[in-house]
Amino acid sequence: MNATGPYPLFRSLHRLSVPGSRINEDGIGLHGRFAWVIDGATGMADEQLTAGGSDAAWLAGRIGEQLMKLCGNRSMDEALGRLEADIRSAFGEATAHVLAIDDHHAPSACLGLIEAQPGKAAISASRAVSWET
């Protein structure tokens, strides 16, 4: 963590995310006072629903993109609340062509999010996220 003025911010010293298979379904990121790790889970369905390398890769990528947008001046709770709504909407748009999606079709991921605050660290419990329509 790098204290820049009165506000602590994270800075990247090194990042590495190596896929366990040919497609990386994980992600890492940081923005301002937030840092996160995303662990996408390979789906159980035979058919792919989204345009990503896999549905889990699509989900991990979308979560990372949205966190970069949301973790500016919002609190952790506001960012997570907005993230869930944004991802649910994006998944609905990405799968509008699919007639029915069962629980085993929807991609899932685990998110670990930390927020640096002056004089303390507030850590969000990891949240498992999955969506169904």
% of the chain beyond a pLDDT of 70: 74
Identify the pLDDT of residue 48.
Answer: 87
Secondary structure (DSSP) of 16-48: ----SSSS--EEEEEETTEEEEEEEE--S-SS-
Residue type, 54: S
What is the pTM for the complete model shown? 0.80
- pLDDT tens digits along 48-58: 888 888 999 99
Identify the pLDDT of residue 32.
Answer: 84
> Can you tell me the distance from the alpha carbon of 122 to that of 94, in angstroms, rounded to the nearest whole number?
33
| 58 CB-side CA count, 13 A | 21
Residue range 86-91: average pLDDT?
Answer: 92
Identify the pLDDT of residue 111.
Answer: 92
Residue range 111-127: average pLDDT?
Answer: 68
In degrees and rounded to multiples of 5, residue 113 shows phi and psi of: -130, 130
